[in-house]
Amino acid sequence: MRMETLGYYNGKYDILEKMQVAMNDRGFYFGDGVYDASYMQNNLIFDMGRHIDRFFNSASLIGIRLDFTKEWLWDLMVKLAQKLETGGYLAYWQVTRGTGIRRHSFDVNMVPNLAIMFIPSELRDEGNGMKVRSFEDKRYGYCNIKSLNLIPNVLGAQYAESDECDEILFLRRNIVTECAHSNVHILKDGKVLTHPEGSDILSGIARYHMLQACSELKIPWEEKKFTLEELMDADEVFITSSATPCNRVVAVDDTTIKQKDYATFSKIQDRVYGEMRKELKIAE
């Protein structure tokens, strides 16, 4: 019998609700760890290779010495995925620096703790437009690391939800950086603009696939910073993430977006969703 949820922690697994984490896990009191996540359906995890590469890179950037290989993690994720139903899931995995009595500095030889979760989830429908709120970006300068330290993102997401919105736009000195758990892009005069990679954003895997789609479709794109005013003046605004592969923003701070170039946006969206459905064997 297949499971509806699944949790894994250092070699043990069960339904998610029964799993427990060590109290001295440094992730518990410092958020000292990194994570990654992807969408899964039909027991297939989308673009697992790039997600695992980013996971290992995040761990390396904060000095966590992983005691397993990419191939080992890949095989484990595949085996765990087979224990679940065939519906949609968020496949989530994280590593913390290890377990020990609370102190800020750490033993460089600490053995890391690996946790994995599979949580029921569905892709956002292509036609489901998004409403967003602007929100001051108070995060530190390590946004390129997929860290467990997510308080600004949590507060931003709650702010959006309490106002019946889907996401927030982080603003850093009036520059739009990204969202609480997505990347944001604009389309202006037939060209896609996206915030440059670097310490101000986490470069999403969905962002990568969107830019690949633009290249394949001969739609010009550029990594370039843009302001909130430029976003409001754009022909289209759209968001990309694992469960929101490429979706249109219809309103920002209660102001309707122009939505003047649906023809170009829809080509990008169709290519991104089509690629995902093909890899995950999702029927049209």
146 in active site: yes
Outline where 82-216 has alpha helix (H).
151-162, 205-216
Angle at 146 between CA 113 and CA 165, to 5 degrees: 120
Kindly write down the DSSP assignment for every residue of 243-259, as one continuous string.
Answer: SSSSEEEEEETTEEP--
- Secondary structure (3-state) at 55: helix
Name the DSSP letter for residue 102.
S
Counts of helices then strands in the chain (DSSP H, E): 7, 15
Strand-pair partners of 99: 25
The conformational region for residue 134 under phi > 0 = left, psi -120 to 50 = alpha, else beta, is: beta
What are the residues whose beta carbons fall under 8 Å from the beta carbon of 209, sequence distance 6 or more?
Answer: 47, 240, 245, 272, 275, 276
- Three-state DSSP state, 175: strand
Count CB neighbours of 184 within 10 A.
Answer: 27
How far is the CA of 101 from the CAs of 26, 28, 110, 113, 220, in angstroms? 9, 11, 12, 15, 52
Residue among 131, 146, 218, 281 flagged as catalytic: 146
State the catalytic residues.
146
